[in-house]
Structure 1
Amino acid sequence: MQTTKCNYITLYFLVLLPLLLGLSACKKYLEAPSDKSLVVPTTLDDMQAMLDYNSILNTIEPVMSEVASDNYYLKAANYSNLNINVRNNYAWAPKAEYLYDWTGAYTVVLYGNVILDNIDRIQKDAANTTRWNTIKGSALFFRAHAFYNVAGQFCKAYTPTTAAEDLGIVLRLSSDVNAPSVRSSMAESYARIIEDLKQAASLLPLTTAYLTRPDKAAAYGDLARTYLVMGDYQSALLYADSCLMLHPAVLDFNDLNPALAGPVPSFNAEVIFHTTTGGVTALAQNAARVDSVLYDSYEENDLRKSIFFKTNSDGTHAFKGTFDGTFTPGKSACFTGLTSGEMLLVKSECLARLGQGDQALSTLKTLMDLRFKRGTYTTPVVSSADDALLLILNERRKELIFRSRRWQDLKRLNKEARFATTLTRVIGDQVYTLAPNDSRYAMLIPSSVIGLSQIPQNSRP
């Protein structure tokens, strides 16, 4: 474990709290009095208001991992109009950073910690037990969800044999502004994510009134995601299956209208938990051109080809298939939420990796039957579970496009030589590449955060 003290009054109040103090409904709970202490929520209503206010915790997911991924490309004119930090991340510049992905995630952590530090002061009784449990479970879930996002963007791929030594994330486990900054190991980081999610799952209800609030299925889904990137396929299978048992609904794309600007309705039956990234113009529909090889990989009977994409006047293609409703030309946030379709892909991949090829393909067919024109999907004949795995990973790429899953997938799959991918960007007469397992897959922690906290920075060549 690497530890470095820092002044967390400075870190929280100068970096995080300015984001929070603009939220008028929560201001009274998060104001900074003259003695720099937090005014804390004192009732369950206060705490639920913090979790719900303007869905802030659901709309500041990290976005640079999608900017840096290979689902799309930019023309030179669009690239030149970007903010310098976004340009640097698009081209994988060695010094690329982006402050708001870090502060956004730790804003979520702070909200969760304020609740967790104070909820035990509210007596739990027969009348409020369910609500008390739900609020505590939600705070744990949001904290773990944010930790997972930070690890996915600012750390290298999880490797069991080196996890105890590899640099992980800053595990903020209280709202105490005087606590030192600690950059934990990867093993410690993922152990905390799993512990928080399991405790959240034990407290959360089976269903919620709003998809911006987590329930048991959401906690199971995040556990499945976490174990998948850790390479623990047995556990990922268990939790994906548990999630699907509670939330099996999958959209039938045959029932959608591809002529609409946004064919996939927001908060639809397939969504388990709704989140979106912040927005950047690089990902706007009128800027991001879908990778042509990726677009051509969709078969003609695959309804995703018309549901997910529209053809531009120059023959290129733009993405319109967000699960967050209409994707207008200027809209640049990505849906990152949990869906039952994603869980079917996790389950299918894990079955294949565990040598159960036939079951893996049967699980995949459950999804593909609802993505292809009715009666047209035929399960390919494969000779082994490994061949089934390749097929499943290809479908995962096509299903989860612009969902902020690709960066994590590239990192974890690059550890396997058969799936390693070299990324290439062409900007004018310049060609940029990102090799498998490059240190740039662990994005730089913002320099302002390093300056305040003195925590170790990610390495560069």
Structure 2
Amino acid sequence: MLKYIYSTLIGVILLSATGCRKYVEVAPVNIKILKNTSDFQALLYNANLLEVSYSNPLYAADDLESDDIRWQTALSTVNANIYTWGEKIYSNTEEDTDWQKLYEQLYTCNTVINGVLESEGGTDDQKKTIRASALLHRAFIFHTLVNLYAKQYDASTADTDPGIPLVMGTTFFINLSRSSVAKVYEQIESDLNTAIPALNNLPDFPTNASKAGAYGMLARVHLHKRNFSAAKRNAELALALKGTLLNLATVTTYPNRNLHPENVFFKRVSSYPVALPLSASLLNLFDTNDIRYTTYTAPASIFWQPTFTNRSYAKQRVIYDGINTGPSVPEMILIKAECEARADNAGAAMATLNNLRQNRFKPEHYVAFAASNGEQALRLVLDERRRELMGTGLRWFDQRRLSKDNGLMPTINRAFKGTTLTLAPNSNRYTFPIGDKYIQFNPEITQNPR
């Protein structure tokens, strides 16, 4: 995989020649040498590469569903395989776009991490900040990969559960055996904790790194590890730096990603369907006075040649520069509220949750939530996560982690072309298979059981 993927990158990103300069004095013709500090910074400003996250979880998660045979028939073979949690998703010759793009980003991050401190023309502080920025991007990449292609973190098995190839350098020929899930998470936390001291509090643009973004990723990481006290602490640290919310009742023009007050560390879905049919289980959670329902969902009839009858996700028709999958202010509020509920502090959880919800209704329609105990508060928070984070694919990762909670993740039933499919909590189908193409090139990469 590494040789195959890296060979495809040579023509599309700047190549590092720092190693070559030790042995030759003449620069190659038509190759951009990474020499100056600004060259490494330019790599991280390639938002078209580094802001992309994933797309497959959108089709796998239970937020999306349609029994309409027209929509099912219109699905590509790959998307149908994802939607049905298939035995195989890609053929032996097909690229897994999520895998390929994330490892492409990883090459760029490793190039910066391993080279910028020796670059010319910048101050030591500038070099450290650039390296820290690459570490945050790498942490996001590793966390996304391990939650797509490995089992959900479980403290009792993480040391032995196969994770992902933990590629840390830019050499073409290395052993690509999968590191354990625990080892991957250790590296993610190390990258984030190393990055934080050198980062600015807030980014110049939300696609760039900052302390707020790093704390946001740490909150997400600890939530997945079920270390709820640490998740809450890091969510609060992120919110102390960036805690602004968009009041949907007062919005007339929706801001773009660079001006959106809720964006902390912007990543986006890599590809998006024209219309995304929303499941009944999600739509039934909405109060129809909720502005998210009236603005971010719409009847299928508004879309060109609709192939289903249920409502569709429509936020991409309001905010045109991508659906954010990175840490955001609402996600940090929801993590904080969930951790308070899990600590059986129902009052604090509801106060935190209502702080978000009151910005999603007109004042005359808003009714504050109340809960008498932590369990009731937790269910209210989790329902709010589905409403607030719909369309981002984050629901798929929530389904995985909530499978570890008794009673919080039911079995999902999905009808497809006359067949009923089921996805049980903790099923192997919650882990995507690694593309056969990559295993053929690198047989040391073991396949996930299905």
- Give the Cα–Cα distance (whole angstroms) in 2 for the partners of residues 42 and 348 of structure 1: 46
Distance 1:368 1:54, change over 3 A: closer
1:427 aligns to what? 416
- Give the Cα–Cα distance (whole angstroms) in 2 for the partners of residues 90 and 358 of structure 1: 38
1:235 aligns to what? 230
Confirm whether residue 100 of structure 1 aligns to residue 100 of structure 2: no
Q: Deviations over 1:15-71 (max 9, x none)?
A: 244246235xx36879x99x9x99762211111111112531102x12111211111
2:315 aligns to what? 321
CA contact 1:369–1:375 (8 Å) conserved in 2: no
Distance 1:166 1:323, change over 3 A: farther
CA contact 1:247–1:340 (8 Å) conserved in 2: yes
1:309 aligns to what? 297
1:7 aligns to what? none
Mapping for residues 112-261 of structure 1, pairs under 5 Å: 112-122=109-119, 128-257=123-252
1:350 aligns to what? 339
- Give the Cα–Cα distance (whole angstroms) in 2 for the partners of residues 303 and 194 of structure 1: 37
- In structure 1, the residue corresponding to 2:164 is in which secondary structure? strand
CA contact 1:69–1:407 (8 Å) conserved in 2: yes
CA contact 2:236–2:336 (8 Å) conserved in 1: yes
Q: Which shows bigger deviation, 207-216 or 187-196?
A: 207-216
- Give the Cα–Cα distance (whole angstroms) in 1 for the partners of residues 268 and 6 of structure 2: 19
Confirm whether residue 460 of structure 1 aligns to residue 412 of structure 2: no
Mapping for residues 21-100 of structure 1, pairs under 5 Å: 21-23=11-13, 26=14, 41-59=34-52, 61-74=53-66, 75-97=68-90, 99-100=96-97
2:257 aligns to what? 266
CA contact 2:338–2:349 (8 Å) conserved in 1: yes
CA contact 2:2–2:173 (8 Å) conserved in 1: no
CA contact 2:36–2:120 (8 Å) conserved in 1: no
CA contact 1:290–1:319 (8 Å) conserved in 2: yes
Q: Which shows bigger deviation, 356-365 or 373-382?
A: 373-382
Q: Aligned letter for 1:55? A: N
Match of 2:371 among 352, 357, 382: 382
Confirm whether residue 369 of structure 1 aligns to residue 358 of structure 2: yes
Q: Deviations over 1:66-99 (max 9, x none)?
A: 2111112243233333332221111111122461
Q: Name the % identity.
A: 26
- Give the Cα–Cα distance (whole angstroms) in 1 for the partners of residues 343 and 35 of structure 2: 48
Match of 1:294 among 270, 282, 288: 282
- Give the Cα–Cα distance (whole angstroms) in 1 for the partners of residues 16 and 106 of structure 2: 18
Give the number of the structure whose residues are more often strand, by fraction. Answer: 1
- In structure 1, the residue corresponding to 2:178 is in which secondary structure? strand
TM-score scaled by length of structure 2: 0.89
- Give the Cα–Cα distance (whole angstroms) in 2 for the partners of residues 434 and 376 of structure 1: 37
- Give the Cα–Cα distance (whole angstroms) in 2 for the partners of residues 194 and 367 of structure 1: 28
Give the drift of 1:122. 2.8
Distance 1:54 1:272, change over 3 A: closer
Match of 2:269 among 260, 277, 280: 277
Distance 1:81 1:162, change over 3 A: same
| Cα-Cα RMSD | 2.7
Q: Which shows bigger deviation, 240-249 or 376-385?
A: 376-385
CA contact 1:254–1:372 (8 Å) conserved in 2: yes
CA contact 1:244–1:340 (8 Å) conserved in 2: yes
Give the drift of 1:234. 0.6
Distance 1:92 1:452, change over 3 A: same
Distance 1:447 1:236, change over 3 A: same
- Give the Cα–Cα distance (whole angstroms) in 2 for the partners of residues 276 and 338 of structure 1: 11
- In structure 1, the residue corresponding to 2:315 is in which secondary structure? coil
Unaligned segments of structure 2, at least 5 residues = 302-307
- Give the Cα–Cα distance (whole angstroms) in 2 for the partners of residues 62 and 339 of structure 1: 17
CA contact 1:279–1:334 (8 Å) conserved in 2: no
Q: Deviations over 1:285-325 (max 9, x none)?
A: 2xx21113322321133211112111233752111124982
- Give the Cα–Cα distance (whole angstroms) in 1 for the partners of residues 58 and 370 of structure 2: 33
Q: Aligned letter for 1:389? A: L
TM-score scaled by length of structure 1: 0.87
Give the paired residue count: 431
Q: Aligned letter for 2:199? A: L
CA contact 2:266–2:325 (8 Å) conserved in 1: yes
Q: Deviations over 1:200-223 (max 9, x none)?
A: 112111122211111110000011
- Give the Cα–Cα distance (whole angstroms) in 2 for the partners of residues 343 and 284 of structure 1: 29
Q: Aligned letter for 1:340? A: V
Mapping for residues 401-420 of structure 1, pairs under 5 Å: 401-420=390-409
Distance 1:208 1:180, change over 3 A: same
Q: Deviations over 1:254-287 (max 9, x none)?
A: 1224xx8xx564331111111112215xx322xx
